Structure 1
């Protein structure tokens, strides 16, 4: 009896083994197709991310170049401003010397030249010959 049952099961399995094999093959094909799709999606995503990274790097490099250009301009403008300040001081001192030579008062010279009264007084003392300085002491 047990032998007959086993034979029936064996015959049933033999009848359905083709269907089971076909189902397993279809499942394997479905898994392979899903894997290929996931891989293709991953490759596309990676390509998009690489493109975005390249664009970001380009932008950063552009900003860096612009910053370097601005730094150079700032340095140049700073030098030019210093030169203007120096020439302004030289002009003011020259004007003050000329006015002192004309005999104008320290206050008048200071008001006209933009220098302080103390600076004008110092210039006046420096212009005096050394023998006059000795008498003043």
Structure 2
């Protein structure tokens, strides 16, 4: 076998290896990006649900100026306004479209997903806290 044939076989082997490696990496990145987008959309929904919970409760008791948390001076109105502003900036259609079009590395996707998970945990904790406050408020009325 000549040196040219051996080099051709090696070159084909390297090309095939890089082709499949690229498919595996890009497939993994695409899958991670889909997960990122689904996590983003979940957080968007959770933010809206929390806004609704606060709005319904504060409106029903006419308590917009009441403290939302016992350990701070933030009122229901303050917290609702901040949550709504965050929603309008971080969860806008413009932001979603930018996220869909962005060419992110696997590292960037993983980092962003991690931040979304922390945000999700915070939204869940606040939602549970408000639901607990609401139940206590109505239980105390009885």
Of structures 1 and 2, the one with the larger relative CO (CA 8 A, separation 6+) is 2
Which structure shows the bigger proportion of residues in helix conformation?
A: 1
Q: Please identify the structure whose Cα radius of gyration is greater.
A: 1
TM-score, normalization by structure 2: 0.47
TM-score, normalization by structure 1: 0.49
